[in-house]
Chains A and B, each alone.
Chain A
Amino acid sequence: MDGARIPILKVGRVLVVPIQFDMDDQTVIHLQERILHELERTCARGVLIDISLLEMIDSFIGRMLSDIAAMARIMDARTVVVGMQPAVAITLVELGLELKGVETVLNVDEGFKLLRAEFNTPDEEEEEFYWETSVIGK
């Protein structure tokens, strides 16, 4: 399972990471590296990780999400995790896992709203925000 199979999309100044399948540990570690690399390369200010398709978060993936948020913050970017399934949320709580430093919102829309508020995007940039979408990968 190659970590590169998870796309990292640049939407405006936000990196969008849709996780679409169950990841093994190496994939998660690789993903973490790639996000940091892209943050540096694109000067993005926000990371939006979509886990709506992720059926499970165990302690390892949970810690990696926390780590990604912490590292991104050091690189001056804010991380938002969106679309967590209710069952996954229940499981996380029962497991006793807090996603430290990770902000979660219900869906991608809310995520963008939160991030946009964060770096105070002027209206003129909004067009670019929507249209300059590109797939970044290796």
Chain B
Amino acid sequence: MKDIQSTRLGDVYVRREGDIVNVRERVRRLAREMGFDATTKIKITTAVSEVTRNIYEYAQAGAITLSLAEREPDVGLMVTARDEGPGIDEKTLHAILRGAYQSASGLGVGLSGTRKLMDEFDIETGEGRGTRVTVVKWLPRAEGSRVKEQMEELRGLLGSDQKDSAVEELKQQNRDLVQILEELEEKREELEKVNRQLSETNHELNEANEKLRELSEMKEEFLALTTHDLRSPLTVISGVISFFTSGRLGELTPEQKNMVAMMERNTQSLIELVNDLLDTSKLESGTMKLDFSSIDLRGLMDELRETMEPLAKEKGIFLEESLSPDLPPVKADRPKLRRIIVNLLSNAIKFTPKGGKVSLKAEREDGRIRIYVTDTGVGIAKEDVERLFDKYEQARSRATRGEKGTGLGLYITRQLVELHGSHIKVDSKLGRGSTFSFTMPISSFQF
């Protein structure tokens, strides 16, 4: 059938039994007009009657398409019967075409007979796939060319069907629309259901969130309270210790001095720890306030050297600073800036082996002052840099195990730098040392 060209002349819909007669009548007329002889005309009509009845009987509805068939040099009538019925399974189809099938209504000769009556026969079917039967009857060659010129008249012959088919088309479209609407309605209901489930889930999530927030708040509150309560006794202890060291309670034996020094060191680190915790909880609750002033970095550094120098000396590390003499003052919260630098310096000292060097440098950069803290220490692996500033990171990390500290230092440092509107930059190479740097705005008023 693939080599046959077809030009559609018209459709006749089959949905009532009476349509079988209708189809027969139109096919008979068309066959006559096309110039088929009486016998062939009857053969065609009979064949079409068979396939049309099959449509009505097995699928209740379908359509017959009448076309002009062409295959050089032949011209003929093509009839296509199609339906969306249950189709025919392969075994039954075989039996039908062999003529070995007994149908309930006819004599089991419908399809096999149709095949014999027509010149070309093709059937496409399968279980649940509907059926499409195409048959062709060729005209005697003498009639062929005439028929091709008559196309319009032949169409006109089926004209009343066109109207019928237009109405049918509309009906079909309506049916399709109704079906689509039904499907849409179903989809909408499904969506609604999903939405309901979603909103339920959302509700649950919200509740869970609320609980988490409460828990988080409780934790912060607890932290703030405990650290505050820890600080007071620590201050008292620290005060008492200074009584001992000042010698106001009498001269101590060397052994006692040693003990008191140990107490002092440990109390000091406990105070630092509590301070870190307190700062963290302040940072997290957003209650940390900055009190800006104009700060001369050189003055700040002189002050810091007093604290840091002994620490560096103890570890055998060389502490170096390079601040250009024309460095303008920066605008920052003095205790916070001091905290930042102390944290960075003590970190650098902590992770630099004996004989190493820790330096502090400051220089202008794009209208701000960049402050660098560089060490010749162990360095930080690239993949660890991001985690470096996480809370309690040190406590988790293997590289820094054995060093004392809460791991809050860098976390607080970064938060403080960010409060000043800057970022901490880290340049580091494993084994070669690290440079931490950040910027501070230049103070607008000069001394």
A91 at the interface (CB under 8 A from B): yes
Per-residue CB contact flags for chain B residues 93-128 toward chain A (1 = under 8 Å, else 0) read 000000100000111111011101100000000000
A23 touches B21 (CB 8 A): yes
For the complex, is A4 an interface residue (Cβ under 8 Å from B)? no
Is residue A85 contacting chain B, with contact meaning CB distance below 8 A? yes
Q: CB distance B17 to A26 under 8 Å?
A: yes
Task: Give Cα A1 to B320, complex, Å.
Answer: 117
Stretch at the interface among B39-47, B176-184, B213-221, B421-429: B39-47
Interface presence of A62 (CB below 8 A): yes
Question: Least Cβ distance of B114 to chain A in Å?
Answer: 8
Whether A55 sits at the interface, judged by CB under 8 Å, is yes
Number of interface residues of A (CB under 8 A): 25
A27-69 contacts to B (CB < 8 Å) = 55-60, 62-63, 66
- Does A95 touch B at the CB level, under 8 Å? yes
Q: Are B21 and A24 in contact (CB under 8 A)?
A: yes
**Is A74 in contact with chain B by the CB < 8 A criterion?**
no
Q: Is B43 a contact of A63 with CB atoms below 8 Å?
A: no
Total cross-chain contacts (CB, 8 A): 83
Establish whether residues A96 and B45, one from each chain, have CB atoms under 8 Å apart when the complex forms.
no
User: Are B43 and A94 closer than 8 Å at their CB atoms?
Assistant: yes
Whether B18 and A91, one on each chain, are in contact in the complex, defined by CB atoms closer than 8 angstroms, is no
Q: In the complex where A55-B45, A90-B39, A95-B116 touch, is A25 in contact with B110 (Cβ < 8 A)?
A: no
Give the CA-CA distance A106 to B251 in the complex, in Å: 155
A55 to B113, CA, bound (A): 17
Q: Does A117 contact B (CB under 8 A)?
A: no
Contact in complex: B107, A59 (CB < 8 Å): yes
Cβ B99 vs Cβ A96 within 8 A: yes
Contact of B113 among A22, A66, A95 (CB under 8 A): A95
Contact with A along B15-45 (1 / 0, CB 8 A): 0011011001100100000000011011101
Residue numbers in A under 8 Å from B28 (CB-CB): 55-56
User: Contact: B99 with A56, CB < 8 Å?
Assistant: no
* Pairwise interchain contact A56-B117, C-beta atoms closer than 8 A: no
Residues of B within 8 A of A23 (CB): 21
Task: Say if the beta carbon of B53 comes within 8 Å of chain A.
Answer: yes
Given contacts A94-B116, A97-B109, contact A25 B17 (CB under 8 A): yes
CB of B49 within 8 Å of the partner chain:
yes
Cα distance A88–B42 in the bound complex, in angstroms = 7
Max count, chain B CB within 10 A of own CB: residue among A1, A66, A87: A87
Across the interface, name the chain A residue whose C-beta is closest to B28. A55
B257 CB → nearest A CB, Å: 125
| A86 interfacial by beta-carbon distance below 8 Å | yes
Q: How many residues of B contact A (CB 8 A)?
A: 29
Highest count of chain A CB atoms <10 Å: which of B18, B45, B113: B113
CB pair A85–B42 under 8 Å, yes or no, is: yes
Q: Contact at A87–B38, with CB atoms within 8 Å?
A: yes
Contact in complex: A1, B39 (CB < 8 Å) = no
If A1-B21, A22-B24 touch, does A63 touch B106 (CB 8 Å cutoff)? Answer: yes
Q: Is the CB of A91 within 8 A of B43?
A: yes
Q: Is B11 an interface residue (CB 8 A)?
A: no
**In the docked arrangement, what's the CA distance between A91 and B31, Å?**
15
What's the nearest-Cβ distance from chain A to residue B92, in Å?
Answer: 17
Cα(A85)–Cα(B46), bound, Å: 14
A124 to B112, CA, bound (A): 51
B17 engages A24 (CB within 8 Å): yes
- Report if A97-B42 is in contact (Cβ < 8 Å); known contacts: A1-B21, A58-B53, A59-B107: no
From residue B256, how far is it (CB to closest CB) to chain A in Å?
126
- Per-residue CB contact flags for chain A residues 1-33 toward chain B (1 = under 8 Å, else 0) read 100000000000000000000111110000000
Q: Which residues of B contact A95 (CB under 8 A)?
A: 46, 50, 109, 113-114, 116-117
Q: Known interface pairs A25-B17, A96-B116. Does A59 touch B50 (Cβ–Cβ under 8 Å)?
A: yes
Chain B residues whose C-beta falls within 8 Å of the C-beta of A59 in the assembled complex: 50, 53, 106-110, 113
Instruction: Identify which of A57, A66, A87 contacts B39 (C-beta below 8 A).
Output: A87
Q: Residues of B contacting A58 with CB < 8 Å? A: 46, 49-50, 53, 110
What 4 new A-B contacts, CB under 8 Å, besides A85-B42, A91-B43, A97-B113? A22-B25, A63-B106, A94-B113, A97-B109
List the 8 closest pairs (A to B, CB-CB), nearest first. A95-B113, A87-B39, A59-B106, A58-B49, A24-B21, A87-B42, A96-B109, A56-B45
8 pairs from A and B in contact (CB 8 Å cutoff):
A56-B28, A59-B106, A60-B49, A60-B53, A60-B105, A87-B43, A91-B117, A96-B109
